[in-house]
Each structure stands twice: as structure tokens, then as C-alpha cells.
Chains A and B, each alone.
Chain A
Amino acid sequence: MNQAAEAVVRQGRPEPELLAEGIVKYYPGVRALNGVGLSVRAGSIHALAGQNGAGKSTLVKILSGAEIPDEGRLLLGGKQVHLHSPIDAQTAGIQTIYQELSLVPELSVAENIFLGMLPRRAPVPVVDWRQMHREAEKALARIGFEMDVRKPVSSFSVAEQQAVELAKALRKRARVILLDEPTSALPPPDVDRLFSVLKALAQEGETMIYISHRMDELYELCDTVSVIRDGQSVATMSTAETTPADVISAMLGKALKGSIQEASLSGGTHPRLGTGEVGDVILSVQGLAETGKVEPTSLELRRGEVLGVTGLVGSGQSTLVSLLAGARQRTSGTIAFEGKPVNFASPRDAIRLGIGLLPQDRKAHGFVPDMSVADNMSLASLPMFSRLGMLNDRRIGQTARDIAARLEMRISGVDQSMKTLSGGTQQKGILARWLVRSARILICDEPTRGVDVGAKEEMYALLSDFARSGGTVIIASSEISEAVLCDRVLVMARGRVVAELAHDDVGSDGAEIIRHFA
């Protein structure tokens, strides 16, 4: 019996609400899970941590019924259950709230909450709207939300939609609620609200499994953390007795000493990605604006600088940097590159000047999933590898192999298709595309979103290398811990730059930045 289960015994509750034992899952050629165990006490919020590829998402899939384990057993409230489909899991009482919400946007809030089990009125089988609306309001009230349940879900904010999803899960018989990165799209005030809702639910005895990459969240919300590495359970610890650095060390399988994140987490010294030495102005912008998204903004970017643009999610930082990369169309303003006015009508124009973008939504905008790593890397530099319109695949492969080795990409070969790689490796592949092209300015929009701690560290190191070798970097990020690494930080709120801070002025915990939010 492991530590957590012992703790349960001590508290006089003999059975954990959810117990997974010896879970093994094979995929062709890979053993994704190799005897993972998990014991979740009733009424607790239990965090699941692990790097991408550690087997965490496979375990989530097994718990939610999306995958069937090859070995091992699953007990809910002491009784063994067999989950062959998501519906089995829901009937058994495991409700999953996914990162991407699974609501029907056109249907009303009440209809979504009752989807698949609309209340009927006897004797004629028609929907009992009044009862449904009343029940839906009650379900939302339980988690402290008051909404017009007749309005379509699409008319509400992401936070409210998440509340609908939660109410829907609670309406069903929920023994365990699985929350998969629920905060990835939420601005901080909504995160706080969600947390207080979840804590209140735990007080009422609901059991939750919480998955997130963000250590601060795990430690604020959860009472126990289980760490998975290489398909095995490596540690289960109480958040009261450990620190985030312990979890990260367990995830990585090595001590975190001396890393950029360790410094940033411990809040002592805060390192910088750039050298701090800057050259001439390379890009200057006057009154750049996109109606409704970004107010007229002027800024100057110097060679060798690492410029951070931060703000709450949706404050315009992403739009601003997309304008600078030519990925979006400005409605007014001028851009000058090395003093010469330029017109970015498309990304092509910016790329020609050596400006490359790492887009925020990696999957949707970053790469061609079915193409190989080599083809994705060479995508922006095809003319470099061709004569008379014909490609030299051998040179593409050679260049790709060199860069993959330099970036220490974990791939079986450069002909592996991009979609089979982990998030961090995909991000490296996109970065590689601009290194192949010898880009001079890298514009990174949330470069480490959805990337695990290990890959995050590597990404920072790569961007740092790029800056040290004379490259210029712009990082748009809603994570303060990322913004404090930059040489200079622009803080945005409601589409406007409200503050400009030098690296040494942001304060180790970014307090100066937060002061300008709101």
C-alpha cells in the first residue's frame, strides 16, 4: 500500500474513492504505462503531474474511458469497474472536464447541462422546460454562478462556460471529477474564482483529480500530488510538506538546481534570457493599431534585445506581436525596419526581412502535422534548397539532422511525421524552421504554453542562445514568470501598453508587472 493509501487509513476512511493499481497500457512499439498506481481519497483534490510523454495523458484517457488498459484494475468506492467507453466512465461516476470544453455552443446553458437526459413530462413525452431551467439554475448556484440559463452557451465567457461544464458534471452522479488543465484559457481573476469553487466542492466531499503544468496552481489548490515519469508512479507527496521544486525534480528525475525555472520559482535571483547588451534599433513602430484589439502603439526594438510583452490573457499582447510578424493586418500605423519604412501585407513580407513567428496555437497554426520534421523545418526556406524549382531533399535532410541534433530534439529521425512528436519537440521544430532560414528576429507568442517543465527549460535555453548569438527576440506571454526573464517588459491592458519596465525593475516575483494589470 502506498503513502496516500496509508494516510487514508489513518484518517479512518478505509477505502479510497478511486484506486488504480498496476495499470499497464501498450501502444504498438511503446509501453505508455508500466504499472501505474493512483489512490485518491474522498473529498480531496489530487494533482497529477508529469512531463509530456510521461504517461499522464494516457492515464487520464484510461480514467475517462477513452482508452482501455491492457492490465491492472480500477476501483471506484471499493468496487472494481471496467471502463470500455467514455459513457461507461460517466455512468460509473467519473466525469471529465477537458481542456477544450465539450459544450454545444448554439444550445442554451440549461440544454447543455441536461444534454442527453432532458427531463420529460408525463404522460406526453415533451421536455419539461420549466423543471429543466429551475434545476439548471440550482446546479449553477451550487458553484456560485448566476446565469440566464435560457441564453446560448456561446454568449458567455470562457470562465462561465467552464462553470456550465462543471455544473453539468455535478448534475450527473459524480464520484470523481477529472479536471484536465482547466485554467489554460482563464485570466487570473477567473482562476481564483474557479479555485474557490473547487475548494468549496472539496469541502462538500466531492473528489477531484486535477491536472496542470503550473506548479503554483497545484500547490495552491491540491492536497496531494502524484508524479508520473516514464509510465510509472514515482512519487506521491503531500503539498503541505513539500515544495514545487520537489515535484519538478521528481518529474524530471533529477534535481532542479541551477536551472532558469528553479531560480524563477524560488524567487531569489531572477535570470535573464538576453545578454543585456543591445545594439541599434532594428524595428520601430509608430501608432500601430488593429481596431478593437490593439490601441495605437509605438515601440522600438533593438538588436540583441529580448523584449517581453505581457498582460492578462486577451489584453492584446498576442495581437500586437502578430501585427509585428505580418500575421495580422494593421488598421493604422507604420513599421520601419532598420530605418526603412516597410509594409507587412502578409507574413511573407516580414519573413523576407528575417522575422519569424512562433504562433500561439501550435497545433492549428504552427506546423503541417502529416509532413516530416525535415519538411516542416525547411518550409520557410524552400528556395534555399531548390534549383530551377526542384528540391534537393538530401540537403533538406542533412540540414534538418544538423539542427535537430543542435536543438537536441527527441525524434527517431527527421522523416518522422511532426504530429507524432510531443508539444515541446514540435515547438523546437518550429523554432528550427526559423533557424534554417537564419531569422534575425524571433517573435514568440506564448512559447511555452502547454509545454512541460523539462521542455520549457530547454526552450528558454534555446531562446537565450539565440539572443546571445546576436538574435533579437520578442516574447508575448501571459505568464509573469516568463515575462520577468526578458530584458525589457511592456505591460498591456485592454489593448494598450500601460507600462514599460526594465529587467531590473520588475521585481523578482514580477510584482511591478502585476501592479499594472487590471
Chain B
Amino acid sequence: MNATAQGEIPPRATTAGNTASGRGGVSGALRRLLPQSYLILVLVLIVIVGALVSPNFLTVRNFSNVVSFSSIVAILAVGQFYVIVTGGIDLSVGAILALATVVVALTLQTGVDAGIAVVFTLAVCAGFGLGNGLLVVWVRIPPFIATLAMMSVVQGFSYIIQSSSLIYIQNQTFVTWFSDGRVLGIPNPVMIFLFVTVAAAIVSRYSTFGRRLYAIGGNREAARLSGLPVNRDLLVTYSLSGFLAGLAGLVAAAQLLQGSSLVGRGSELDAIAAVVVGGASLVGGKGNPVNSVIGVFVMATIINIMNLVGISSEPQLVIKGAVILVAVFLSSAGGVERISAAVSSLRGKRRTGP
């Protein structure tokens, strides 16, 4: 048991700076790195397949389409990652995203400054996230149930305040900020999600807050007995998830030019799937936000290729499900190790003979 555990990589601890401790030469190094970087390989493979099957795939236009389309889920996935790494889950992010579109559209309708509308919306969304946190920490409801209930509450709340079918957004400043504008030639939504991803990566890898979240997800009681502010950190994490869902909602609202409680239905599941495809464990304590975002792109690229070659949406769902299963088998279920163990035992049998 010990020895099999030694074969695998401690999830994050060995990443930067100390790869020199490798044993077993090239194949050993490869075996240790493979589970870590396999996602990139998978993405590269998908891109190659895409280039082969569709002439339109490797075009700037298609590329920017995929990235813009993915930025919303990517922002959600980062927030979801933080919750999942603590051993929780946040099912309310899709509903909070929709709420953000409604709230920002309504506030803009009153004619206030775009900046104020944005800050207000993000505050409301973080507030609902905090509500999740309070339910989990103080009322001690399991995260799955607490955020499921919150999802329903938020959906209903959006309907009520929306009160009409949908609300158009005409504030050009807002639309420029979150959709049309560019910085250094890069569309703003992409800039936002890049910023969020990089910041999240730094926080999770180098900050005390990030380290504490891994500890809480890895063993909550050990974290508590080590004097970590577990409750406070969980409140911050759920608020952060709400905040990022709000941010994703702002991008969605600006792209759609409307606020509607129907936006983003089911996107929480896309985000969770991406985090899991990115190698995080729902038990907590494992994974990193960059892999979660790569997970988003793996899914988005596959869907894009299927669209380009004209596969209709029903078979797409089947393929999407299969991709999730294979990816999770390879990453968190230890598929790479299991396959290589099976191969080596087969080889061993052949060598010694029956």
C-alpha cells in the first residue's frame, strides 16, 4: 500500500522547484510527470484532431470564438475549484451568474454609472456566496444541500426582481468593459479570465490562504488542530465563488446585451465537470486552478470540433459524457498508473512464462 502511494505524485507539493528529486531515470520521470501534464497532451491531441478534420478549426476567428465562449465557464470553474479543494461543492454558481445578469441590467436601467452597477452586482453575488458559506459553516448543512437550496432561492429571487421577460442592456460603457473592448488587442472577457486564472494560480500555489484551503480539504480536523482559521477560510471561499459567478455573469450580460434569469442554466455542472476533468478530487485537497481552466478548454474544444464537422447536439452530449469519464479515469482515478501497472504485469508474465 505504501509503495503504490509512493509511485504517485503528491498532488501539488512536488510541482515547482524540487523536481530534481526524481528517481528511476527517464521512464521514472515520465511516469511521474504524465499524470500531471497529461491534460496538456490531451488538449494538444484534440487540437491536432481538430486541424485534421476541419479546415476551419485552426483559424484565428475560430480560436477567438472558442476562447470567448469558454471565458465564462472558466471564471466559474476557478471559483468552483476553490470550493472543491476545500472538500465542498457549489451548485448555486449558475443561478448566481443569472442573478448577476438581472441585477446589473436592472441597476443600469436606473441610469446609474456602470462602475456603480458593477460593484453593486458583484457585492450582491458575493453576499449570496457568503450565505452559502454561513449555511455550511454555522448551520452545518452539507455543501451539496446548502448550495442546492441556494440555487433554488437565487433562481426564484432573479425571477421575482426581473418581473418581465428580459431586460435589455444599452449602457455602452458596460458593454465595452465586459465584451467589446480590447486591451493590447486581446478581448476584455479573455483578459478578465486570464487575470482571474493567473491570480488564482498564484494564490493557490504561493499564498498562505491557498495552502490553508488544501489543508482544509485534505484533512479538516488536522487543519483545525493546527490552528488554521477553518471557518473564516470557508466563508471567504464560498463568498469568492459567489463573487466569481457574479463576474462571469457580468461577462455573459455584456455579451448577450440583456439580463435574464434563464442565462447560464446548468453552467454549474459544466464548471464542476471541468474542475474534475482537471484532476481535482471532489473529496478535496487536490488539483490546481490552471488544470481546471485547461479542463474547460478540453471540453470546449471538443464541442467546437463537433460543431465544425456538423455533429448534432444530441450525440454531442453523449460524447461530452464519455470525455468526462475518460478524463477522470486518467487523472483522479489513477488510470495512468493502473494502465502502466497492468501493462508491466502483462509484460512480466510473458517474460517469466506460465
Q: Which residues of chain B are near A327, meaning CB under 8 Å?
A: 224-225
A254 within 8 A of B: no
A347 within 8 A of B: yes
**Is A383 touching B208 in the complex (CB atoms < 8 A)?**
yes
- Chain B nearest CB from A230 CB (Å) reads 15
Could you tell me how many residues of chain A have their Cβ less than 8 Å away from some Cβ of chain B? 47
A380–B219 alpha-carbon span in the complex (Å): 14
Segment with Cβ contacts to B, from A89-97, A169-177, A334-342, A390-398? A390-398
A116 within 8 A of B: no
B6 within 8 A of A: yes
A160–B16 alpha-carbon span in the complex (Å): 51
A170–B16 alpha-carbon span in the complex (Å): 54
Could you tell me how many residues of chain B have their Cβ less than 8 Å away from some Cβ of chain A? 38
- Chain B nearest CB from A98 CB (Å) reads 14
Q: Which of B3, B17, B211 is close to A375, meaning CB atoms less than 8 Å apart?
A: B211
Segment with Cβ contacts to B, from A268-276, A416-424, A458-466? A416-424
A234–B14 alpha-carbon span in the complex (Å): 37
Given the interface pairs A29-B24, A371-B215, A372-B14, the reply to whether A380 lies near B227 with Cβ below 8 Å is yes
A30 within 8 A of B: yes
A325-353 CB contacts (< 8 Å) to partner B: 325, 327, 346-348, 351-352
Q: Which of A382, A390, A415 is close to B21, meaning CB atoms less than 8 Å apart?
A: A415
Q: Which of A32, A368, A380, A389 has the most CB of B within 10 A?
A: A368
Q: Which of B5, B206, B226 is close to A347, meaning CB atoms less than 8 Å apart?
A: B226
**Is B229 touching A415 in the complex (CB atoms < 8 A)?**
no
**Is A433 touching B206 in the complex (CB atoms < 8 A)?**
no
**Is A370 touching B11 in the complex (CB atoms < 8 A)?**
yes
B181 within 8 A of A: no
**Is B18 touching A415 in the complex (CB atoms < 8 A)?**
yes
Q: Which residues of chain B are near A417, meaning CB under 8 Å?
A: 5, 10, 13
Q: Which residues of chain B are near A390, meaning CB under 8 Å?
A: 206-208
**Is A413 touching B223 in the complex (CB atoms < 8 A)?**
no
B149 within 8 A of A: no
**Is B3 touching A348 in the complex (CB atoms < 8 A)?**
no
**Is A371 touching B227 in the complex (CB atoms < 8 A)?**
no
Q: Which residues of chain A are near B207, meaning CB under 8 Å?
A: 386, 389-391
**Is B212 touching A382 in the complex (CB atoms < 8 A)?**
yes
Give the residue name and chain of the A residue nearest to B216 (CB): A368
A365–B224 alpha-carbon span in the complex (Å): 9
- Chain A nearest CB from B114 CB (Å) reads 31
**Is A368 touching B219 in the complex (CB atoms < 8 A)?**
yes
A interface, CB within 8 angstroms of B: 27-30, 32, 53, 61, 325, 327, 346-348, 351-352, 357, 359, 364-372, 374-375, 379-380, 382-383, 386, 389-391, 393-394, 397, 412-413, 415-417, 419-420, 422, 433
25 residue pairs bridging A and B, Cβ less than 8 Å apart: A28-B7, A29-B24, A30-B3, A327-B224, A359-B225, A366-B222, A366-B225, A371-B215, A375-B13, A375-B211, A375-B215, A379-B211, A379-B215, A379-B228, A382-B208, A382-B212, A383-B208, A386-B208, A389-B207, A393-B17, A394-B17, A415-B18, A416-B10, A417-B13, A433-B226
